[in-house]
Amino acid sequence: MPRKEVSLPGNIKWLSLQGASRMLGVHPSTLRQWADAGKIHTVRTPGGHRRFAESDVRALLEPETVEPASIQLLVQGVVGHSRMDVTGGKLDQQVWYQRFDETGKAEFREMSRKLLALLVQYLTQPIERPALVEDVRVFGRDLADRAMLGRLTLAEAASAVLYLQDFLMDGVIQMSRTAGHGMSFDLTTIYPHINLIVKESLLAVIRAYERR
């Protein structure tokens, strides 16, 4: 996108690259790429710094509902990726995962599939999102209970949640590579939702540990 250096209107709330990326839950380099690709409008200050209108950032946080056919592609990509993770030994290499007994490991794998199901519901049922966010918090508390039963520290439990974030993100990336030009949705509409699901799960885990 061509560089636009302007005097910023005072009637608009502007966010820096760092501030906008924090609100979206993405890395600044990711937001920079989205801006360069025209996914979100950006302007330059006289000093050459990027600024984003808060309204544009919030609009990106509330994307349109993703079509069911696209969701099916997402599910196939993430599930296929999760199978490769388990059979390829990536999950087994995680130190926190090794602390679970066999029952605990099986429960964690089942919980990862439950989180995927919650994400799919969140994407396809906008009217149910407030209730689904509460379901995600319950998921986080259940994960914390399982982690405490396995005597995991809070840091290890948090690592498990972040692993699930990578699990979902990597699945989306794998799916996009497989679908190629046949993909019927913009991946930028998926990332903010994944970040919200993971954030609520992580906060629920932290609160559960604080209450024990």
pLDDT in tens, 12-38: 888 999 999 888 877 888 888 888 888
Residue 73's pLDDT is what?
57
Give the tens place of pLDDT for each residue, 88-141. 457 888 999 999 988 888 889 888 888 888 887 887 777 788 889 999 999 999
68-211: CATH topology is Globin-like (1.10.490)
> What gap in Å lies between CA 21 and CA 27, rounded to an integer?
6
3-state secondary structure 109-159: HHHHHHHHHHHHHHHHCHHHHHHHHHHHHHHHHHHHHHHHHCCCCHHHHHH
Q: Phi, psi at residue 44, to the nearest 5°?
A: -110, 140
Instruction: Give CATH for domain 14-61.
Output: 1.10.1660.10
Residue 1's pLDDT is what?
43
Mean predicted confidence (pLDDT) in 143-147: 95
> What gap in Å lies between CA 57 and CA 25, rounded to an integer?
11
> Do the domains spanning 14-61 and 68-211 agree at the CATH topology level?
no
Where do the structural domains in the chain lie, given as residue ranges? 14-61, 68-211
Residue 44's pLDDT is what?
86
> Which of the four pLDDT bands, split at 50, 70 and 90, describes residue 181?
very low
**What percent of the chain has a predicted confidence (pLDDT) above 70?**
73
